[in-house]
Amino acid sequence: MIKTKSIVLIFLLLFFSGCGQEESYPWSDDDLDVVLNENSEKMVLLDFETDWWTWCDRLDNDTFSDEKIIDFANDHLISLKIDAEKGSGPKQKEKYRVRGYPTIIILDNSGNELDRIVGYLPPEDFLKELNRIKNGTNTLSDLQLKYSK
C-alpha cells in the first residue's frame, strides 16, 4: 500500500510540476508616457479593449496566449492593455482615434504610429501582421512615403 501511495504521489508531483509552466504574454504595468520615455529600441503595442466584447476575450485567449506571439512580444514589443472605457482609456481612445474593439496600435519607440490591427486575428495571421509591421512593409509611413514619391 505504501508503494502504491508513493507511486501516486510521484505521478502527481511530476504531473503538477509541468502545469503552470506556460509563459504568459508580457503585459507592462507602466503608463504609456513612462514606456515611451524609457524605451529606446522596442515597438510599443497598445491593445485597446473593453471588458464586455467577445472578440477582445478571444484575442486574449487565442492569440495573446500563443507561444510564437509571446516570443515575438518578448523580443520586439513593450505591450500595454488599455481599457477604452476606464481610467485614461477614453482619452487615449480619442487621441488614437479608436473606433472599434479590439484595436491594436503599434508605435515606434518615439511614439509615432506605425500601423494598426483592427479586430480579431488568429495567432498565425496576427504574427504575420506583426512581422509585416516590424519590417516596415505597407505600414502607414511606408505607404505615405510611396505616395509622396
At residue 5, the pLDDT reads: 57
Q: What mean pLDDT is predicted for residues 103-120?
A: 96
Non-local CB neighbours of 2 within 8 Å, separated by 6+ positions: none
Q: What is the strand order of the sheet 77-83 is part of?
A: 77-83, 43-49, 103-107, 113-118
What does the pLDDT read at residue 16?
A: 46
CB–CB of 142/113 below 8 Å?
A: no
pLDDT tens sequence across 36-87: 999 889 999 999 999 999 999 999 999 999 999 999 999 999 999 999 999 9
The residue among 17 and 39 whose pLDDT is bigger is 39
Query: How high is the pLDDT of residue 4?
Result: 57
Spell out the residues 6+ positions from residue 7 whose beta carbon is closer than 8 angstroms to its own.
none
| pTM, rounded to two decimals | 0.82
